[in-house]
Structure 1
Amino acid sequence: MNRDLLADFLRSRRARLTPREAGLPSGERRRTPGLRRQEVAQLAGMSVDYYIRLEQARGPHPSRQVLNALSRALMLSQDERAHLFHLAGQALEQPGGTGRRRGDVPEGILHLVASLEEVPAYVLDAKYDVLAWNPLAGVVLQNLDEQSPQEQNAIRWVFSSPDIAERLGDQETSRFARAAVADLRAAAGRYPGDPGIQALVAEMLALSPEFAELWDRHEVEVRRDQRKVIHHPVVGDIHMTCQVLPVPDRDDLRLVIYTTEPGSPSHRAMRELRRLVLSS
């Protein structure tokens, strides 16, 4: 159980929830946004003193019943509820997951990535290291083959960029940055004490004010399928669907595949990019 992180998360979720959203009367003017501690305790059916101790990182180990009550009171999403349980040392069972933390990629997944010749495909671990990729993904993801293992990390690509403040004005970059940080925080809850995740977070907090600002929001959301646009200097913009697939029996790994609508300009652009890759 990480009492400090649990306390931070509870305070951040309480601050974002309005009385109206929680079904409470607004009453007199409030000095700070969000619910009061006594209101959260009332909604969760627990004593105010117990809840205050949780927010002050000095409370007892909360039971699953207490965590479920807090999830309902704070109107947490499914991902946020799982994060709350992880922080409290009450990890939820994940279908198909084993809780293992290894950097290797199963041989069958490597064969699958290599066989996907017409779409970019790569394997991502919990801290956003790209562990394996096919030739198209190597081109789309900034010439992966030419980068060191330290550089082959999607979060470093975004937040270590010298023009990050300007790039976050771009809707595509901003959406990815926010989603990646929320997903990384969820991973930090699933794997408490993981040295790789802790080191990456510490590095980014020291180097990037933009990362620090997003990290302090305590947003939690596991990465799933999403639309995105790849800006390529030769074939132009490619509109894609980013499919994020869990690797069976490896809850720390995900297979990411970029697909385009058949017959669309983006599909033709991707075929042209593949032709350029094969001819190089």
Structure 2
Amino acid sequence: MGSGNELGSFLRSRREKVDAASAGVVSTTRRRVKGLRREELALLAGVSPSYYTRIEQGRDRHPSREILEALARALRLDDTERSYLWSLAMPSLDPADGAAALTRSVRPGVLHLLERWADLPAFVVGPRRDVLAGTPLAARVNPAWSPGRNLIEFTFLDPRARDVYPDWTEITVQAVAGLRATVAARRTELDGFVASMRARSETFRSLWDSHEVYDRVVGHKRLRVDGVGVLRLDFETLSLAGPEGHVLYVYFPEPGSPDDRVLRDLA
């Protein structure tokens, strides 16, 4: 997973991204470091520099709730980053450690919905981003959306990915940031997978070590489809209730657009 001090590594990565001037830090000398110095962040958060240093160096891995909130405010973390910070400092019971073991079974009701949505690319993934079920149209639009595939492995290890995704670089950043957000809650399930991807892909390793964390639940994606060209599709992600951690992705075109007509023909 990296240094073995995920909390300290994450704090350091966020500290280096904060613009000192916009944070209200006045410097009379030329700065030699990116972002905030440790002592500057400590001052903004209202903690002693020596105590913050212990946190970042991994000598105190469970600071109090008040300290975490102060650091989150000083670092200007968004909601996803704040949740990730809490998960590192105060890890809850990992679902894989209890009765809710990882399962690849998709509920019959969800499978029935996919059957009814035959005119849309829709599919279900597990926490590792394994595709567990999907509509035939999903597999036609993107080979990565076929049951049995893994979205992360396809993006970083399959040579077709750069052709399928015209915005491949942007897609890789989003994929790793979203996976890191999932790891926070399901570490036991995903540690081995992340370690494997770090060993197999230099690009994945570099992005993982940047400690970006966010989760895009809506948006759009451009896909190059064989025999068709580039489609622009919007998407929604729906977390399915239950301990499995399954997520339903649904892609759809703008009504009446050329992409809409092409997708209807494919369906």
Q: CA deviation at 1:193?
A: 2.5
CA distance in 2 between partners of 1:120 and 1:229 (Å): 13
Q: Are 2:28 and 1:27 aligned?
A: yes
Q: Are 2:153 and 1:156 aligned?
A: yes
1:124–1:130: 8 Å Cα contact kept in structure 2? yes
CA distance in 2 between partners of 1:73 and 1:102 (Å): 39
CA distance in 2 between partners of 1:23 and 1:101 (Å): 46
2:131–2:151: 8 Å Cα contact kept in structure 1? yes
Instruction: Letter of the 2:86 partner, please give it.
Output: F
Aligned match for 1:176, one of 171, 180, 187: 171
Give ranges in structure 2 of 5+ residues lacking alignment. 93-98
Instruction: Name 2:95's counterpart in structure 1.
Output: none
CA distance in 2 between partners of 1:28 and 1:180 (Å): 39
Instruction: Name 1:187's counterpart in structure 2.
Output: 182
CA distance in 2 between partners of 1:64 and 1:99 (Å): 27
- Change in CA separation of 1:231 and 1:207 when aligned onto 2, cut-off 3 Å: same
CA distance in 2 between partners of 1:171 and 1:42 (Å): 44
2:115–2:135: 8 Å Cα contact kept in structure 1? yes
Deviations 1:152-176 (A, max 9, x none): 1001001102477xx39x7521221
Counterparts of 1:1-280 in structure 2, within 5 Å, are 4-59=5-60, 61-90=62-91, 101-142=102-143, 149=148, 152-162=149-159, 167=162, 172-194=167-189, 197-250=190-243, 252-274=245-267
Q: CA deviation at 1:60?
A: 5.0
Give ranges in structure 1 of 5+ residues lacking alignment. 92-97, 275-280
Q: CA RMSD in A?
A: 2.4
Deviations 1:187-206 (A, max 9, x none): 11122222xx1222112111
Q: CA deviation at 1:89?
A: 1.9
2:218–2:235: 8 Å Cα contact kept in structure 1? yes
Deviations 1:81-127 (A, max 9, x none): 00000111255xxxxxx987433222221211121011011011222
- Change in CA separation of 1:131 and 1:64 when aligned onto 2, cut-off 3 Å: same
CA distance in 2 between partners of 1:251 and 1:35 (Å): 39
Instruction: Name 1:94's counterpart in structure 2.
Output: none
1:37–1:52: 8 Å Cα contact kept in structure 2? yes
Instruction: Name 1:95's counterpart in structure 2.
Output: none
TM (norm. structure 2) is 0.89
- Change in CA separation of 1:75 and 1:101 when aligned onto 2, cut-off 3 Å: farther
Q: Determine helix, strand or coil for the equivalent of 1:22.
A: coil
Percent identity, aligned pairs only, is 38
CA distance in 1 between partners of 2:101 and 2:194 (Å): 20
Q: CA deviation at 1:24?
A: 1.5
CA distance in 1 between partners of 2:72 and 2:57 (Å): 18
Deviations 1:194-237 (A, max 9, x none): 2xx12221121111111111111100001311111121122222
CA distance in 2 between partners of 1:26 and 1:107 (Å): 61
TM (norm. structure 1) is 0.85
Q: Determine helix, strand or coil for the equivalent of 1:21.
A: coil
Q: How many residues align?
A: 259
**Comparing 128-137 with 105-114, which one deviates more in the overlay?**
105-114
Instruction: Letter of the 2:233 partner, please give it.
Output: M
